[in-house]
Structure 1
Amino acid sequence: MPSDHLGVVPALLDAGCAEELEKSGKTLHASSSPLNETYAVYPASSLENPSAKHHTFSPDDKPVYFVSSEALPLSERRLFVGDTSIIFAAWQNLLKSVTQNGTDLLQDEPSQRVMRKLALDYVNFAKECWVHTAQSSSEARQVPSDHYRTLYTCLSLFVVLYVPEYGLENAPFGDDLMEWLNTHFIEPSTEEGDHLSSLENSWADETFWPYLTRATLRGLSKAVTFFLGTLSAHPCKDLRRLSQTLIPLLDTQPKLQAYEAEREFAYASHRWKERVKALRLELDAVPEPDRRDDYEDWWDRFSDIVGILEGRGEIIQKVCEELGADWKEVCVAWGVFVDPRLRRQDLPDVITQVLEDMPPDPTNLEDMIHAALFTGDPLKALDHAAKLDPWLSAHLADMMEPLALVDKDPNEDSGLTPRNFYVLSYAQYLHADSALWRITVAYMYSCGKIGAKTADEVLVRVPLRLHGVGSSNATENNADERLSKGDLSGIIKDLNATCHEYERENVRRSICKIAARTFVQKKEYGLALSYCSSAEDWPGLGRVVDRILQEYIYTGPEQYTRYVLDIAPSLQALRANAGAHGVFIHRLIFAVRYAEFHQRLLNQDLQDAAWDLVTIFQEEIAPRSWWGILLCDAVQLLQYGKFSLSVQHTRQLGANSTPF
């Protein structure tokens, strides 16, 4: 999914004209955004050649391109990311529980069963996404349905190889590998079988023997026995006799699941192989002239099938090459026919021999991931998985570390373990979409100190990102629309809850400070004071009060009074806060009392307004910088004909005004 190139529209240069940029004395510059994985790219004068002559670009032509190094998760991709993050959270809770209980994950049966269940949840969800996207092919998709099929095959192979059922870690697993191969890479096709079954003499068709050989190689005994039964009408009596002998052999091939003990399975396999050898002797006894029919050399084809059942590795590899099969089919057949007691720890030795003659396709990331998992090279598998999809490498690495498949010690240079490196890389991919911040920080906080510090920075910047104005990004515009409906409080509440969950108190306070500034800009002063108090930012609270008082200067007493109505309920709570700084609370008290004074003036309650004014001076509530304004208000009271201040009022005002 990640790309090494970023396309911009319209193009800065025409195709094949890259030299024009250099000749113009310009070069490309890029500035990264602190919010997500976006960049501003623009042409500017080259430092190496500032005196180069101008050719193509005019001095005023300075286009700026905004590009992203990651494709934003959209539509079904966002659903996939969100739902699988629930499985990730359950996995982290399992590991946390194991750590707290002091149990060994690799030895504890209940924990291993839960671990396998969660790993299968990943597999099943990838399968559901594949089926869903394949069935709705008419809709535009961010990634094709085949991408989810690839995730499905890789995850299910990982489970087969590294997350077996409890107690079966050292059991033979050839049948499990064959089931995986037949589930994800269906051969021979159903259409081939339908075609052959519709023929009167199916053996006359050129696909007859390749079909039987491939079906035998895949362990599809029912299909093979059905078509072997049609040979009862074949004109060659030797082929009719040998086919009837082969049918019960295929039907009785031992399977590990049918036996209670591996020893019984091994004994049954040995006896079965003896019967195959007897069939080989019968086959070799067929005279040379009778080994062909009117269509081809049936004996050679039949011999290949018997050779597969005998477990002859060279025959299996030859047959796979002739049928166009790859290394996977050889390795899987090896565990069923060559070595039925093959164990997981022995598989890398087998695959190494096979890959020498049948290497994986280096242009196919899916094939390379499969090969790395087969050979027991988790780090190489993660490297290829990261190129395919950062989601896959992150979740594989997350499962690999507790299984002791990758090192738990951090790299000396980066300070990150392999698991944390891939999980953080995936989190950076998620960070490209601001709407996914909750999921982003959940992955980051699981990555030790480095991840926690990175997540802190993401959380602190969420409010800044959400109230940006003029963004062309659809996600940010949607956020602006939500904010205009008063949804910012809900966003801050979610941020605070996240901080509490991960015990990031300093981050929570920083967010509250940012929220307070945001609400000041929106002139929602009550919420601004509330967040200042929550952040214990008392100087900030004082600045909010100053902004409220400035509203009196800018907008007049009526609008000022309405603003103070929003903050009055906060006053009682702040007074009860033992940590609140008195000087800032004192200033808030003045703002409220001063609003009450003007409210009485507006209501023509002049007597009480006068008493409010005198009381403000008597209780020394008013800041010195506001004394002059209060005296001007007193002049206003004196101008009313029906009211006059008493001598006591006047003396009080005069006494308090002497500092001026």
Structure 2
Amino acid sequence: MALIPAQSPAPPAPSPRPPRSTAPLKESRRLIADAYTIFASLQRIVAQYEQSAQSLFGVAGGGVPPPEQVQYYARVCRLYSDALVKQLPLIKNDSALSASAKSKSLAHHAAMHNVLALAEILYFPTDGRGEGLVAEELLDWVNTIDRAPSTEEGNELLSLASPWDSPAFFPYLTRCLIRGHLSSASALLSLLVNQHPSPYLQSLASDLVGLIETCPRSTAYRTENAFASAMRSWKSTHLLPTSRRIEAGFDGGQGSDDPVLGGPDNEDELLTYEQSFRSLLAIFSGSEDDVLEASSDWREALSAFGLWVAPTSLHRTDLPAIVSRITSSLHPVDQSLSDEVAQSRLLEGDVSGVIKSLVEGGFGWLATHLADLLSHLHLQAFDLPPPRPATASAPEDEEEELGLRDHLLIDYADRLTVDPGLWRVSCEYYASCSAGVKKGRERARELIGGLELEGPGDVDLQGEAKDVGKEAEGMDVEGSTPDGGEEKENVPASTSKRSKRVDELLLVCSALDLDDEFVDICQRYSDKVVEDQKRGEKRFGEAVAYAVRAGDGRRVARIAEMVGEEYVNKDQSAFVKAVDSLPTSLLRPASFANDDAELPSTLNSPSAFSLSHLPSHTFDSLRPILSHLSFLARYRDFMALYAVPNQRREAAELLVLLLTSGIAPRKWWPVMLLDSVPLLETSPPLITLAETFELLRILEDILAPIASSSPLSDVFGSLDLLGRLTEQGKQEKAGKKKEEDEAERLKRAVGQMEVVRGALARHLAVCSCLE
């Protein structure tokens, strides 16, 4: 595949990597966001291709990608170019920029676009092969980046009564031929044919107009062979006869017989005209020396060479030698212009030199994205350095050697970190380093670890790059965005806004397989939310959700304890509110799905925070601990059922189920037994005889260890929760807060259990009589 220009015979040894640039990026957030979206999509396209190539060709893959894959890269290259073009009107309309700043910025973006357009022609041709003629593409590129000759000059000539008398007439005409503007050249020559009084000049101009009108262009032919045949026919039937006739007229002194230019007084003028026509005819004939001499710079000379000197034979592989020949003699490259140096090195096939020139010229954005694109062609310049064996002078922990692409990605991402709102973009570039490169992921870890969990608003990458994906039908150009494409269930606006940064951090960690950072962020944020709760802002739902994502059972258990403390330290309504804030998916496991259908609609109110919109980490390992949360939900259901008079029986069944199934923690048993007293004293009975015996068993299980101790002590802490709950009620009635000692609290709790015992005994007697 003749896609990549051949190297010159003895190219200079390329630098292994460009010098590190410390200059800030000159590009706007909009361009950075657009490029990030395209870049992220390209990485996915490459990953899919590499995976399929490895399955077909083994670990080494398929080497140089096939034409259809190169066509994908060509579309990405055009998207980068379009992103640059979109910046131009934004810069022009930016009132914050001075005139000089606008001019510099426009020139900067135009220079990057010009290099990228040339790279697309050379390395990412539309057909994916690049084996055809390249002359017309180079000519279009030159005419796009440097429009010449100007339209103003042409209009000025046309406005003259006798434009051929202007010293700019033939230079302008020559420039039109060199640039391939044949219709403009024909229009100027037609002025001579139709308006000049000299029949001799009219004849010369008419012959050249005939050559222009019959000259074939490769763009008019479907195949290279058809164009070559047409060019041979044109030369044999038009160019050679016309050249011979004109040369014969020059040599035979035909001009001296002209009634206008003949005679000794007009000899100098006649010679000037003849010399101008000789130069034009030499261009038509493809004289290399005349074409190069008539060109104003090396780029124009290269395009003219392809148009007139080698129209049927100039291919991409021929360019390095031709560019070297042109720039080494008549038209050297201006070394002070980094973009021109980069263009010449692109044409020479010196990829390392291209990247070095761009970095040194302050085109870091372009250097990074162009290097990434070119690296997917498996060019030698991007081969990773071989690993160095560990020695006494070079230990294993010494900084690793980076390939050209990896070096640029890390350098670009480093400079993006100056803007805190672009941290996600930095992470994407860090993580896109080669698989064996550790430095990129280490930088991503450092960056994520140093970010605040609730920081200022970041760049809205979807909003910044909203137009990029619309221009590439059939190709995935939707970048990695923080929303993840999933709906968020029942997330209040305040909570969503507050947790946006941490959610984005977790999504990035999940996408980059940063498991340790994922867990650490979840743990830190859960702790932060707990601290907020201590200041009076109740965010139990967020706290437990992030603890679950971290797979941290200890934190989940601690938060469950805090929710229960709401009942003890405050009241039932505070407890219900706290439980309702927990994620529904944690509170109601699938085993209770059928029971939920029988509950009042008020019990199925959605939680304020859902787990569905973020990835979870080791969720299955938390199932035993999540039973604590399930108990809180079912106990909250009991309270709701008890509040409805005609559902007291359902409340009693649920209370007994919680006590006998092992779901309720032991310290809650006394509180729940005390809750059963009103249910035991109703008529008709709401609790069956068998259920009564179960409650008695549980009561004895609580009191037996206490009764057997001397002095009286709660060895297992079974009555601590009930003691504090009854103490709180006593303080509210007394209107004062006075701490009791442990013995007093235990004595009162035991007394409450005796009340339960009495109620159970009475209920047992009633049930026995009914039996």
TM normalised by structure 2 equals 0.62
Please provide the CA RMSD for this pair: 4.6
Letter in 1 for 2:33: G
CA distance in 2 between counterparts of 1:267 and 1:411 reads: 48
* C-alpha separation in 1, matches of 2:439 and 2:567: 42
Matched, 1:337 2:308: yes
Mapped to 2, the partners of 1:388 and 1:644 lie a distance apart of 79
User: What are the Cα deviations for residues 476-533 of structure 1, in whole angstroms up to 9, with x where unaligned?
Assistant: 9xx9xx9976424344444444444444444432332232133223322331122111
What secondary structure does 1:536 align onto? coil
Match of residue 178 from structure 1: 139
How far apart, in 2, do the equivalents of 1:183 and 1:300 lie? 31
Letter in 1 for 2:170: W
> Which residue among 372, 375, 384 is the counterpart of 2:357?
384
SS at match of 1:297: helix
Q: Which amino acid aligns with 2:364?
A: P
- Equivalences for residues 413-432 of structure 1 within 5 A: 414-432=400-418
- Counterpart code for 2:409: V
Bigger drift between 400-409 and 607-616 goes to 607-616
Is the CA contact 1:283–1:303 (under 8 Å) kept in the aligned structure 2? no
Q: Relative to structure 1, is the Cα distance of residues 328 and 283 closer, same or farther in structure 2, using a 3 angstrom cutoff?
A: farther
Match of 1:293 in 2: 269
The question of whether the paired residues in 2 share the 8 Å contact of 1:551 and 1:560 is answered with: yes
8 A Cα contact 2:453 2:502, kept in partner = no
| Structure 1 position 211, deviation (Å) | 0.6
2:527 maps to: 517
Once the 2 structures are TM-superposed, how far is the Cα of residue 197 of structure 1 from its aligned partner? 0.8
Query: AA paired with 1:611?
Result: L
RCO comparison, higher one (Cα < 8 Å, 6+): 2
Change (3 A) 1:129 1:276: farther
Preserved contact between residue 400 and residue 406 of structure 1 (Cα < 8 Å): no
Q: CA deviation at 1:192?
A: 0.5
Note closer, same or farther for the CA distance 1:226–1:632 as it changes in structure 2 (3 Å cut).
closer
Tell me how far apart the structure 1 counterparts of residues 702 and 165 of structure 2 sit (CA, whole Å).
Answer: 112
Aligned length: 561
Q: Give the letter aligned to residue 90 of structure 2.
A: T
* AA at the equivalent of 2:314: L
Moved more, 460-469 or 213-222: 460-469
1:651 Cα offset (Å): 11
CA contact (8 A) 2:402 2:437 kept: no
Q: Distance in 2 between matches of 1:485 and 1:94?
A: 35
Give yes or no for contact 1:158–1:373 (8 Å, CA) kept in 2: yes
User: Which residue type is aligned with residue 328 of structure 1?
Assistant: R
Q: Quick one: distance in 2 between partners of 1:574 and 1:457?
A: 42
**1:191-270 equivalent positions in 2, closer than 5 A:** 191-232=152-193, 233-270=195-232
Task: Tell me the CA shift for residue 92 of structure 1.
Answer: 2.6
Match in the other structure for 1:328: 299
2:544 maps to which of 529, 533, 537: 529
Question: What TM-score comes out, normalization by structure 1 length?
Answer: 0.71
SS in 1 for 2:622: coil
Whole-angstrom distance in 1 between the partners of 2:512 and 2:95: 42
Looking at structure 1, the residues matched to 583 and 221 of structure 2 have their Cα atoms a distance apart, in angstroms, of 79
Task: Name the CA distance, whole Å, in 1 between partners of 2:128 and 2:447.
Answer: 48
Paired residue for 2:247? 281
Whether 1:448 and 2:459 are equivalent positions in the alignment is no
Structure 1 residue 344: Cα displacement: 0.9
Distance 1:266 1:112 in 2: 27
Query: How far apart are 1:135 and its partner, in Å?
Result: 5.3
Q: Within 2, Cα distance between the matches of 1:430 and 1:574?
A: 46
Distance 2:447 2:636 in 1: 35
1:117 is aligned to 2:71: no
2:410 corresponds to 1:306:
no
1:384 offset after TM fit, Å?
1.9
Q: Could you report, residue by residue, the CA deviation over 1:315-369 in whole angstroms, capped at 9, with x for unpaired residues?
A: 223223xxxx211111111112122211111111111111113222222122111
Partner of 1:487: 497
Which whole-Å CA distance do the structure 2 matches of 1:99 and 1:147 have between them? 34
Q: Which residue of 1 aligns with 2:674?
A: 611
Offset at residue 170 of structure 1 (A): 2.5
Q: CA deviation at 1:105?
A: 7.6
Change (3 A) 1:394 1:222: same
* CA displacement 1:137-166 (0-9 Å, x = unmatched): 646388722322222211111111222232
Name whichever of 249-258 and 273-282 sits farther off: 273-282
Residue 367 of structure 2 is matched in structure 1 by 393
How far apart, in 2, do the equivalents of 1:414 and 1:456 lie? 12
**Cα pair 2:522 2:549 within 8 Å, conserved:** yes
Q: Does 1:360 align with 2:333?
A: yes
1:435 to 413, 416, 421: 421
Q: What is the deviation of 1:176? A: 1.5
The SS at the match of 1:127 is: helix
- Give the equivalent residue in structure 1 for 2:31: 80
Specify which of 381, 384, 404 is matched with residue 407 of structure 1: 381
Distance 2:715 2:145 in 1: 78
1:416 counterpart letter in structure 2: L
Q: Does 1:129 align with 2:100?
A: no
1:518 maps to a residue whose letter is K
* 8 Å Cα contact 2:449/2:517 also seen in 1: no
Deviation at 1:190, TM superposition (A): 0.4
Offset, 1:572: 5.4
How has the CA–CA distance of structure 1 residues 632 and 344 changed in structure 2, closer, same or farther, with 3 Å as cutoff?
Answer: closer
How far apart are 1:598 and its partner, in Å?
14
Deviation at 1:110, TM superposition (A): 3.1
Whether the 8 Å CA contact 1:133–1:144 is kept in 2: the answer is no
| Gap change, CA 1:280 and 1:178, over 3 Å in 2 | farther
Larger radius of gyration: 2
Match in the other structure for 2:473: none
User: AA paired with 1:133?
Assistant: L
- Distance in 1 of aligned mates of 2:51 and 2:340: 39
Unaligned runs of 5+ in 1: 1-36, 38-67, 600-606, 654-660
CA drift at 1:215 = 0.7
CA distance in 1, matches of 2:699, 2:315: 88
Deviation of residue 177 (structure 1)?
0.9
